[in-house]
Amino acid sequence: MEIIPLEDLECGTPAALSTLYERLASDHAVIIQLSNEVARQIRLPLNTDTQTVLDDCLEQQKVGSRAREWLESNQGQLEVDAACFPERAQFRCSKVPSECTECTDKSTLGICFEAMDKVAAICLGHLCDSAEIDLASFYDHSSSLLDVFHYSPQHCPWDCPCPAHQDKGFITAVADSTSALEVKLGSDGPEAPWTPVVLDDQQIVILVNRELEHFSHGTLRACTHRVKQVCEKRLSLVHEIRPNAKGLAAVQRAIAEACEASDNLPTHEGSCDEVKMLFRPTNTTTMTACAVM
């Protein structure tokens, strides 16, 4: 997979911007090389303390007092939901609407959220410029999500705890403690091979999501990916930029227009139901709809 230095994207180096767009247009995924400081900020939750807390949730199959105490100390200005499932435990973090836009969140999750949001927004902004699409008013801090996932092989007997799927929203950034993510580069056909995403401590991977595919008219295709089982405990950070209220309204208009157009198409070319599956709106507070990675 292509690796692009974040510094080059921040400086707007033409070669880096061209590579970012070309690789995401062809492969749907690209690795970003981070600076030491940004990597440190992003990886703050990837530690034994976080793993111990989430492991405790998995063991008890509930969010206990230990997890609540940890969140009180580490969630800062974020709104955090915690949840347990048979195969994983997770924290879902989102921005609390606030008039204090200059406030600095110094919590573990807050620092990670801000750093991942900044990197993802830089990539998304450059992609939109290259694809000549204007999404600037369709997303903001309030529409971003950070999921902290914990998997333990003893709680997950399946070979693939997270089956093949594509993410909602515009773009996803992923960092992890152990490599398990696999993507289909270039083609999502059933015969296309799976490519392991191996990241070092100073890298994240960027994936194209479904709404970005829509608004780019298919120039940027959503990345099909999955998570394979590994023999050790694993923490994963998944940051998604999703549409805000204005963006969701635009998605709804697209659904209506596509459904209207599909009425005049032969049935094998598409249907309104299929369009709705692609562009259904997201309730960011519904834990049962959480993506997994």
* pLDDT tens digits, one per residue of 24-61: 999 999 999 999 999 999 999 998 889 889 989 988 88
The pLDDT of residue 163: 76
Mean residue pLDDT of the chain comes to 84
Q: Write the single-letter amino acid at 205.
A: V
Res 271 pLDDT > 90? no
- Contact indicator for 144, 94 with CB cutoff of 8 Å: yes
Res 148 pLDDT > 90? yes
Residue 110 token pair: 């807050």
Helices 108-131, 14-26: crossing angle, 10 deg rounding: 90
Residue 185 token pair: 């580069």
Percent of the chain residues past pLDDT 90, beyond the cut = 52
Report yes or no on 264 lying in a domain: no
Report yes or no on 165 lying in a domain: yes
**In sequence order, which residues have a C-beta less than 8 Å from that of residue 191 and are 6 or more positions away?**
none
Report yes or no on 193 lying in a domain: yes
- Which H helix or E strand runs over 71? helix 65-74
The pLDDT of residue 111: 93
Report yes or no on 208 lying in a domain: yes
- Contact indicator for 181, 161 with CB cutoff of 8 Å: no
- What is the mean pLDDT of the segment spanning 251-275? 56
The Cα-based distances of 86 to 70, 119, 130, 155 in angstroms read 21, 32, 42, 7
Res 282 pLDDT > 50? no
Number of domains into which the chain is organized: 1
The pLDDT of residue 251: 81
The pLDDT of residue 289: 37
DSSP string, 193-254: PPEE----TTEEEEEE-HHHHHHTTTSSPPPPEEE---SS-EEEEEEEE---HHHHHHHHHH
- What is the mean pLDDT of the segment spanning 147-154? 85
Res 169 pLDDT > 60? yes
The pLDDT of residue 180: 84
Report yes or no on 121 lying in a domain: yes
Lowest mean pLDDT among 142-146, 152-156, 193-197, 266-270: 266-270
Distance CA 287, CA 112 (A): 20
- Residues counted in the chain: 293
- What is the mean pLDDT of the segment spanning 173-202? 90
Res 192 pLDDT > 50? yes
Residue 145: band (very low, low, confident or very high) from pLDDT cuts 50, 70, 90: very high
- Contact indicator for 166, 197 with CB cutoff of 8 Å: no
Report yes or no on 257 lying in a domain: no
- DSSP, res 200: -
CATH label of the domain that carries residue 133: 2.60.120.330
Give SS3 for 277.
Answer: helix
Task: Look up the domain containing 53 and give its range.
Answer: 3-246+284-289
Report yes or no on 210 lying in a domain: yes
Give SS3 for 172.
Answer: strand
Percent of the chain residues past pLDDT 70, beyond the cut = 83
What is the distance between the terminal CA atoms of the chain, rounded to a whole angstrom? Answer: 19
- Contact indicator for 241, 139 with CB cutoff of 8 Å: yes
Res 218 pLDDT > 80? yes
Res 207 pLDDT > 50? yes
The pLDDT of residue 230: 75
The pLDDT of residue 158: 61
Report yes or no on 147 lying in a domain: yes
* pLDDT tens digits, one per residue of 76-99: 889 999 998 888 899 999 987 664
